[in-house]
Structure 1
Amino acid sequence: MSAQSALVPAGTRALGLGFTGNLGNIDAYISAVNRLPMLSHEEEVSLAKSLQDKNDLDAAQKLVMSHLRLVVSIARGYLGYGLPHADLIQEGNIGLMKAVKRFDPNQGVRLVSYAMHWIKAEMHEYILKNWRLVKVATTKAQRKLFFNLRSNKVGLDAMSPQQVADMAQMLGVKREEVVEMETRLSGRDIALEAPTDDEDDKFSPIAYLSSDQQEPTKVLEANDVVRLQSEGIETALGKLDPRSRRIVEARWLANDDGSGATLHTLAEEFGVSAERIRQIETAALKKMKTALAAYV
């Protein structure tokens, strides 16, 4: 179901919202809601009390339907963010229904005034979630600055120091906060990887990222390996007797490719059996392992 054909979310059909017939597009929807009758103050209070006291869903439906044009009007003011008009209206309708649910007719306030806060809140949340892949405003203060800066900034050029100072004073925030938010607003989303086509001039940030070998934990691991290979192994070899050291070095440290002397070659050199050389090697490696424990 498209956004345009589901401007009133399916989850709210308990209120009886929705139109019969095929509205087809956003213009037809707007035309339909503008033809819905508005309520007098007395009718609004009566319906609101019926909903409050009796949980009258028919009353809730009439309250919502009579204010759908308000949502359309508010949504029109946020079209500059480049998001679908239908989606903005749908989010605003959610805010309207929340307002109707919480509206207290005994406070002496018209529903239109009360509902504006809820409608805008839902639209703001939708805009902040969908305007950019990366959130530009997360705290309440940043959200306020985001919308005020968007509506008050003149032109697309960077703000001058005086304009920044004036904006900060008008919004009651620090100059640094205005500069930071303007920088976020002026940026744009860039795909990490280049598009899958044959053009060679496409910018691909992933190609310029540093190797993961420079990641701090990997650097520390590499330094530990170097220290272990140099200082640690030399210390461990120093714990061995000359014959054991000769066997370990000939078997494991003679060549970089790991192709050391065979047991039989060393057996001939020392005049013992190959099995004896293996036993000496095993004991020497265990002793070295104990010495290397301090370097791991």
Structure 2
Amino acid sequence: MATTAVAATNTKARARKRKGSGRNLLTGFDGSLDDQTALDQYLRDVSRHELITPDMEKILGARAQRGDEEAVQELAKANLRFVISVAKKYQNRGVSLTDLIQEGNVGLVTAARKFDPEQGVKFISYAVWWIRQAILASLANHGRAVRVPLNRASDLARIFREKERLKQELGRDPTPEELSKATDLTPELIESLQTLNAAEIRLDAPIGDSEDSQLVERFITEEAAEPELEVENRLLTESVTEALNTLDARDAKVLRLYFGLDGEREHTLEEIGNMLGVTRERIRQLRDRALRRLREGDKGAALESFAA
């Protein structure tokens, strides 16, 4: 009897090890644990989920389209690793990594319900859009970074790009004055924006001191990164174009030139003014008005996503 009981106990223990904690990984972390411990446990549990074959992906996708909720869950759980890789890129913006992962999982499930395998696109290539939008929505509601007005967020992105370009060109970090000339922003504004967002620059910061925290790195693979960049760029470009089409032609042109949305480089306010035959200040007014209209309109989130 005792031997039988011990054997049964060992069998149950092995089953628990195979299945992880038994929690639904799509719906959250273990609330009884501190954040780091819960995250470490979650990473271990996710690592136990096997990836599915392309054929199985199509089968689950077809079932999900017919309303099979079990297929939706299976398809989503097989891709939890990718949510972690996307969420990690948005660390240090005022929302914890655990919360970002949970929000990304919401987007993943949405994608699983909407995915059409007959379109000939890999599920994860389709899902990246929904994952990213769910995370951005969370940052918009709770994060500090997106409280920077849209035009300032774009200014900050331009600062970073010009800083890297000048660093390669000059062989050193550019001075505030050099950055000011390259970005058409005042040295004071450049300094304030860089200070405000200093905590957001290290997107690859470690998530903890334990060995299990390194599990995150295992989920960031070349195979996952390629569809993210390809699909994200295409979908974001389409959404931004749709948003700009809600503006009048002149306002839309100002934004296209200012943000470099048509495959050209970004233009300064002065350059755009010369093109359109008006003053730099008038272009600034048109830009700010257009951005305000986008923010207030139904399509405003698209440009904010593009600038994030």
Would you call these one fold, judging by a TM-score over 0.5? no
Quickly name the TM-score band, shorter chain normalised: 0.3 to 0.5
Q: Which has the higher helix share?
A: 2
TM-score computed with the length of structure 1 as normaliser: 0.45
Work out which of the two has the higher radius of gyration on C-alpha atoms and give 1 or 2.
1
**TM-score, normalized by length of structure 2?**
0.43
Q: Which protein has greater RCO, CA pairs closer than 8 Å, 6+ apart? A: 2
